[in-house]
């Protein structure tokens, strides 16, 4: 009986599951936060207005080019392949034997950073031009404008998209088993390899993944409400995988 097996596997291997889930959460939390910071930096740099002439123009153009290469490459290749190339490539090219966990954090961070850069850029572009002009008119430069006026609004607006990235990271860390990071999927593979009950083992893992993503979604939603205070900003929506119609209803009624 499958159910008996599930109970048996759970009671015998619970520590491995918990450890795996812990590593998975750790990688995805750190990866999302670092990726978020990378995204903010890249987004701010890519929206610096380019002057019409001078050295500054050339430097900005070069930096922008490098940043778009970074974004295109990391968005355009699968993370599982990046993991292999970076982990084994580092060993081959520079003779660096990377710690598996730090390699995992590095890969997830820069991968998330590439996506977040575009999300942040979208958030910045969606802010009314008048906000920039008003900030410039009282003498703020680009950085001051961003820090004091634009980014606080952007961060609020991109929270749903950031939540998405977080959920995606929780699930996608499973591909890191190819470089033997002992996250949840890797642990499950070991468990299943011992008892040969693949369905039951992975069914447990399935539930654990769902509990993690669902909890994270709920937490993020309550953070959003907290930031909003008594009433709401207009939302910047992007691939609203985690949003439900009744939430959207609430928002429109609270608006204005």
Residues of this chain that interact with another protein (CB under 8 A) are: 52, 54, 128, 130-131, 133-141, 144, 148-149, 152-153, 156, 231, 233, 256
Give 4 or 52: the residue with its C-beta nearer to another protein: 52
Give 45 or 127: the residue with its C-beta nearer to another protein: 127
Give 130 or 245: the residue with its C-beta nearer to another protein: 130
> CB of residue 152 vs another protein: minimum separation in angstroms?
4
Residue whose entry in the numeric block shows the structure tokens 């999302």: 32
Report phi then psi at 217, rounded to 5: -60, -45
What single string gives the DSSP state of each residue in 183-245?
SHHHHHHHHHHHH--HHHHHHHHHHHHHHHHHHHHHHHHHHHHHHHTTS-PPP--SS-TT--H
Q: At what angle do helices 79-94 and 100-126 cross, to 10 degrees?
A: 130
Establish how many alpha carbons lie within 13 A of residue 160's alpha carbon, considering only the half-sphere containing its beta carbon: 18
> Which pair of tokens denotes residue 102?
């730090």
Count of H-run helices and E-run strands, the chain = 10, 0
> CB of residue 136 vs another protein: minimum separation in angstroms?
6
> CB of residue 40 vs another protein: minimum separation in angstroms?
15
Give 1 or 55: the residue with its C-beta nearer to another protein: 55
> CB of residue 150 vs another protein: minimum separation in angstroms?
9
> CB of residue 174 vs another protein: minimum separation in angstroms?
38
Give 99 or 148: the residue with its C-beta nearer to another protein: 148
- Nearest 5°: CA angle at 162, between 160 and 165? 115
């Amino acid at each position: 009986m499958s159910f008996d097996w599930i109970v048996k596997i759970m009671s015998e291997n619970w520590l491995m599951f918990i450890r795996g889930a812990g590593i998975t959460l750790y990688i995805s939390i750190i990866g999302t936060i670092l990726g978020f910071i990378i995204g903010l930096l890249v987004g701010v740099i890519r929206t610096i207005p380019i002057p019409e002439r001078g050295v500054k123009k050339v430097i900005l153009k070069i930096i922008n080019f490098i940043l778009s290469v970074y974004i295109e490459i990391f968005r355009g290749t699968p993370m599982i392949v990046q993991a292999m190339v970076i982990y084994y490539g580092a060993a081959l090219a520079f003779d660096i034997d990377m710690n598996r966990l730090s390699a995992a954090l590095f890969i997830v961070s820069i991968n998330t950073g590439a996506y977040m850069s575009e999300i942040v850029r979208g958030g910045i572009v969606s802010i009314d031009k008048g906000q920039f002009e008003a900030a410039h008119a009282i003498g703020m430069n680009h950085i001051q404008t961003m820090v004091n006026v634009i980014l606080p609004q952007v961060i609020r607006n991109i929270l749903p998209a950031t939540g998405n990235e977080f959920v995606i990271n929780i699930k996608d860390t499973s591909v890191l088993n190819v470089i033997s990071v002992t996250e949840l999927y890797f642990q499950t593979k070991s468990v299943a390899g011992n008892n040969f009950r693949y369905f039951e083992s992975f069914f447990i893992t399935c539930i654990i993944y769902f509990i993690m993503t669902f909890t994270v979604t709920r937490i993020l939603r309550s953070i959003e409400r907290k930031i909003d205070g008594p009433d709401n900003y207009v939302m910047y929506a992007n691939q609203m995988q985690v949003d439900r119609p009744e939430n959207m209803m609430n928002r429109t009624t609270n608006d204005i």
